[in-house]
Amino acid sequence: MLWSLFITFFLIGFVSFGGGYAIIPVIEHETLRHGWMTSQQLIDIIAIAGMSPGPIATNTAVFIGFQTEGVLGAFISAVAITLPSILIVFLIAVFFYKINDKPIVQTAFYGLRPVITALILFAAFSFSKTNGLLSLTRDAAIGIILFSLGLFALWKLKWHPALIILIAGVLGVIVY
């Protein structure tokens, strides 16, 4: 199981373009494929990982590793998902300034941007669907209202995300 955790999160780490939120669909697919946890357990873990300090993909890997193999599983998963980034960043740091101005590098980045945006939107849609926010229920309506208020507070009022998370948690306790 430890080897499976390592290989899975190492490979996920190599395709983690666009940050943690963009890679959540891949983590979800692999976690469910391996049967490490249910979809609802994973959604709960992603919510906790998103509220925890640090990168969401790494936090999610740590939680999944801990759920499956305890402290050693958490450690293996954390190392596995971060090791590719460390290697890639090191290589890029060595060569980036030599190739940054090349047209092929610039065009590759232009090609990646819309796909990364699509992956992030897919993760948000998948998360919403799993949590029932896309159905016609009272809970979905409350969720959409909280989503809208959170987005408004972030975008227009420029509130700190931690404050919005805290308020949403308090509202969740009150409403539910």
Average pLDDT rounded to a whole number, residues 52-71: 91
More confident residue, 14 or 167: 167
Cβ atoms of 95 and 54 within 8 Å: the answer is: no
Cβ atoms of 24 and 63 within 8 Å: the answer is: no
Q: Which residues have C-beta within 8 Å of that of residue 24, sequence separation ≥ 6?
A: 46, 56, 57, 60, 123, 126, 127
Tokens of 168: 């949403």
How does pLDDT run across 90-145, given as a tens digit for each residue?
888 888 778 878 888 889 888 888 988 888 888 888 877 777 777 778 877 888 88
Phi, psi (degrees; rounded to nearest 5) at 136: -100, 70
The owner of tokens 């999160």 is: 9
pTM here is 0.59
Q: Which of 72, 54, 89 lies closest to 6 in space, CA to CA?
A: 72
Percent of the chain with pLDDT over 70: 98
Report the C-alpha gap between 101 and 85 in whole angstroms. 22
What is the pLDDT, as a whole number, of residue 18? 64
Tokens of 167: 């308020």
Question: In which band, very low, low, confident or very high, does the pLDDT at 25 lie, cut at 50, 70 and 90?
Answer: confident
